[in-house]
Amino acid sequence: MQNKSIQVKGLQKSYKQHQVLKSVDFEVEKGNIFALLGSNGAGKTTVVKILTTLLKADSGTVTLNGFDVASKPDNVRQVISLTGQFAAVDEILTGRENLIMIAKLRYLGNPRQVADDLLTRFGLTEAADRRVSTYSGGMRRRLDIALSLVGKPQIIFLDEPTTGLDPEARIEVWKIVKELADGGTTVFLTTQYLEEAEQLADRIAILHEGRIIADGTLSELKKLFPSAKVEYVEKQPTLEEIFLAIVGKKEAI
Ligand SMILES: Nc1ncnc2c1ncn2[C@@H]1O[C@H](COP(=O)(O)OP(=O)(O)OP(=O)(O)O)[C@@H](O)[C@H]1O
Ligand SMILES: [Mg+2]
């Protein structure tokens, strides 16, 4: 039981008349990478906001490392970090200054050292003393993720971490995410890139019309669809084909 980092049961959320989450259930094990897939507007960011205490659910329960988000939000905030869908770095500051600022806000003992370590780890040492406004999209995203690692959170939330990145920058972010999970951090990510989920995730869930309509490892999801035999060659469905078959409409991605 204690191996579960995230437990979500019967989560519901409406914005006025619009019921976005009808009943969402899933669990994530400690140290796993969990990918939440869904079309635009499916409610992925809404789930992330509720799990990170930024938004209140209408009903249902969410527990992070044993703490209930509704009754123990402060405890939850101490174990998580969030990299939002839109970068939250300060453009006027340098990369180093951004990191030092967050380390100070978190009352860490040696902010400069924390900043140096993260700059090295994220390959930003050379650019450390340049204003973020001069960074490329990939560099900003790396800095954004670095900022969320200040203070070593146990669970990190990445809402579309690679949207807008070129393939090379995307692969760099994947490497960082894998390293985090190897180090025991639980990673919850949302993505529109099915390849990203295929590459990274231990478990994949598909959010559609307010519910999780499929949840499992990639091979479990693939088993839902018998492989098509094309003469003598067995064809495995891609996650994209699985997604489209489940969601049932082309414009979904
Ligand atoms: N504050 C709000 N007030 C009213 N409606 C909202 C609000 N926030 C989100 N919505 C609506 O809820 C639905 C889910 O939005 P959400 O941002 O969670 O989707 P998403 O899956 O993250 O989409 P995307 O892939 O575009 O980021 C959308 O229809 C959106 O318009
Ligand atoms: Mg979103």
**Mean pLDDT over each residue of the chain, to the nearest integer:** 88
Tens of pLDDT, residue by residue over 79-89, are: 999 988 776 77
Mean pLDDT of 69-77: 94
- Domains annotated on the chain, with CATH: 4-252 (3.40.50.300)
Q: Name the residue among 204, 211, 190, 187 with its Cα closest to residue 243.
A: 204
> Which residue's CA lies nearest to atom 9 of ligand 1?
46
What one-character DSSP code corresponds to residue 192?
A: S
- Angle of helix 111-121 relative to helix 95-105, nearest 10 degrees, comes to 130
Q: Which pTM was predicted? A: 0.86
Q: Determine the distance separating the centroid of ligand 1 and the alpha carbon of 201, expressed in angstroms.
A: 23
Give residues (CB < 6 A) around ligand 1.
15, 18, 20, 38, 40-46, 85, 192
**Helix boundaries (H) for the chain:** 44-51, 73-79, 95-105, 111-121, 137-148, 167-182, 194-200, 218-223, 239-247
- CA-to-CA distance for 142 and 47, rounded, in angstroms? 23
Q: Within its chain, how far is the Cα of 175 from the centroid?
A: 14
Q: What angle do CA 224, 178, 149 make, to 5 degrees?
A: 125
Band the pLDDT of 231: cuts 50, 70, 90. low
Tens of pLDDT, residue by residue over 115-131, are: 999 999 888 999 999 99
